[in-house]
């Protein structure tokens, strides 16, 4: 059997610390690779649960808009399906508000 997920997306909002100090969560915005009938790329917002060192690093370094890669597995808990991160890769930081792409 195989249960493996690989995502690349932007962090939406802040990293959320759980009451259990070993656990944190993020939401990734992952655009689809095709346009809908209106010619727009839709985006999926995927909940990812982080544990231990991954959670600690995310709490310290991740911020809204950062581009990350997540490798993990799907876990279904009743009505919720989460990605349990086994590896988190920092790909790029979000640009500060005063930086522009056309510089």
CATH number for 38: 2.40.50.140
Q: What is the pLDDT of residue 100?
A: 47
* 97 within a domain of the structure (yes/no): no
- pLDDT surpasses 70 at 95: no
Q: Tell me: the pLDDT tens digits for 38-60?
A: 999 999 999 999 999 999 999 99
**CA-angle at 33, arms to 28 and 38, nearest 5°:** 105
Domain assignment of residue 102, yes or no:
no
Tell me the pLDDT band of 21, cut-offs 50, 70 and 90. Answer: confident
Q: Indicate the number of domains in the chain.
A: 1
How far, in Å, CA of 64 to CA of 28, rounded?
A: 10
98, part of any domain: no
Q: Which positions ≥6 away from 16 have C-beta within 8 Å?
A: 24, 25, 26
* pLDDT confidence of residue 19: 87
Domain assignment present for residue 100? The answer is no
């Amino acid at each position: 059997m195989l249960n493996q997920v690989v995502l690349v997306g932007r962090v939406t909002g802040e990293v959320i610390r759980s009451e259990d100090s070993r656990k944190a969560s993020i939401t990734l915005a992952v655009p689809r690779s095709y346009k809908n009938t209106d010619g727009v790329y839709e985006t999926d917002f995927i909940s990812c649960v982080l544990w231990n060192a991954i959670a600690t690093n995310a709490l310290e370094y991740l911020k809204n808009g950062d581009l990350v890669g997540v490798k993990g597995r799907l876990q279904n808990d009743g009505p919720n399906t989460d990605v349990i991160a086994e590896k988190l890769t920092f790909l790029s930081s979000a640009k500060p508000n005063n930086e522009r792409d056309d510089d």
